[in-house]
A and B are shown apart, each in its own frame.
Chain A
Amino acid sequence: MKLTRRILMGAAAGGFLFSAGAAMAQQTELTFWSWRQEDKAFYQDAIKRFQAKEPNISIKFETYAPENYQTILSTALAAGRGPDVIQVRAYGNLETIATPGYLVALDTQNVPELANFPEAALAAETLRSDGKIYAVPFAMQAQLVVYNKKIFQNAGVTPPKTWDELMAVCQALKAKNITPFANGTATAWQNETIVGGLLSSMLGKSFEEDIVSGRANFTDPRFVNALAKLKDVSQYFSPNFTGVDYASSQQLFVAGRAAMFAGGSYEVANFKNQNPTLDLGVFPAPVMKQGDPALIATYYDGGYAVNAKSEKKDAALKFIRYLATPEYGTAFTNVLKNLSPIKGIKIEDPITQEVAKLAENSMSYLMLVRFRYQEPSGSVLLQSNVQKMLASQQTPEQAAAEINKGIATYYKPFQK
């Protein structure tokens, strides 16, 4: 223990000397951690634009592999170190690092630009226990259906509006020997994205309201019936879909061997990168009967936060204020093809425009937004039970009952 303390003190002293040296040069150097290695060029560019305004602040952008990011970050923060500016995730994941007080609370005083964000985006970066915001949100994601326009045209089908139309489209594609959905269920979390992409309209906003208020739980017929429909449409997933993992199903779609992919809006840029010739479109989850509102399931990815232990909070706040401007949001949206939640941005990419338009009518990506705060998390329950149901190892009723039972262990409204 003593030794660790000594090493830490040495490191702190070293850091102090370094920052003192930097101060003499009138230059503040911030470190900025992220898990987005693939967006490095974009962030370097954003930093340059920021420096054009604030020449005295320089920023070192460092990335870590996404699967280890949370571990590395929380270890560093627990040791009283870590970067000045941190890319953090949202919801339950944010709570893990915000609850112990590692992040600076933000409000319209220290970051006036927060006024320019939608309520739901800020809620994603708010700690439930104190109601304070801890990060500037950076992207909205949506679960929907991505489709290959060329395959649809060749098969003479159009994007379906209702569930019956979807089944007819699937049948028509299958008759032409085209795999309708590239999806597979071997990777657990894919089951949750499939539910979000295909069932949101059938569940409906009122279902979400009822769940949150406790008027309904997951044994509700709306949920059970939607799961039964999913089981029904799974016959049109990729062949042997129970053994097809995320990477294989992406490959199937990118290679143009399947017509649709139920999943995240983030897939579009990814698919395009792998095969630029793909002509893609998106549509919301099909509705039960004509006239019902068509919904996509949205959530916020994460945000930019300031380390509470940082010695350069002022500079760090200046930087995240820049990351909250429409100028940055526009660049973010157009370069990364991910939708920035900042109001008043100009979108160039047609598919992103389409997603933005669909997002005006959306429900939450339910389990992530509402039930990822405690164990067993709603996401884990949904994933494994839908996986089991689609493998014909349990009925939709059983799946719904299992999910409900798990959440009821901690969610008071379900315990009645």
Chain B
Amino acid sequence: MQRRDLLAAAAGGVAAIAGCSDDDGGNADASIRGETLTLTTTTSTYDTGLLDEVNAAFEDRYGVAVDAVAQGTGAALETGRAGDADVVMVHARSLEDEFMRDGYGVNRRDVMFNDFVVVGPEDDPAGIDGTEEVTDAFRAIAETGSVFVSRGDSSGTHAKERAIWDAAGIEPGGEWYRETGSGMGEVLNQANQTPGYTLADRGTYLSQRSELDVSIRVEGPIEGGPALLANPYGIVAVNPGVHETVNYDLAMSYIGFLTSQRGQTVIEEYTVEGEQLFFPETDSEDPNFEQYVPEGWTPDER
């Protein structure tokens, strides 16, 4: 018995010494090297190929593999709620805010933005080419009963589309309005085959443009279109206080990397066919404090 205690103490001592030498080495990331981070994200970041680029750079720097699961914004957040993801990158601020208010997400940061565009056939049956306001364009599509292909999958793009219909004062429905429940790429393909109109994020549209006959009918804010079509992406860590099994430190490393100069450069330099798809949003001398908390949150509401 005594002998066993002695052995245990010796083993503990060795472990302690080993631990010390690790710390002394100053190689802080040695402890996370080889681990895997689970990220749920939107189909738009995945299908554009941006994520592979960012994740390869992250893996280079931290030695952490990223398992990226491409879902719609709604499903990505739901996976986070269940504690099956460590970090979530999506593009629907209202849904992200709900995620944080419910206690599932912490340390939200703005990451990047691009914009939405209304895409439609060349002969433009609804006559919306160059319309100033996207709400007018949507009204014209509804009034002429031109085919509109909707994501219908509670993704960020779908949330934006619903918001535009609301702003236009129209409840879409009927033969011309097709809810597909598919990802952005599939919906663009369907709009192309039908042909019909759809709302697409510029990134996915550009990355698929060479395969499509439909083209941009209403521009987003990057090309001087209405601000309603802005498309900001945010990243949120899953709250380790709710799900103690999540890899919170890896999640924060990932958020740190994406919002670092290095990560932002990768985003800025990512192009498809010579066009920049995403625009970095974090580096600023004048940080936007609202990115850390739900929009409109004030200290008295706790």
Chain B binds chain A: no
Chain B residues within 8 Å of A, Cβ to Cβ: none
Chain A residues within 8 Å of B, Cβ to Cβ: none
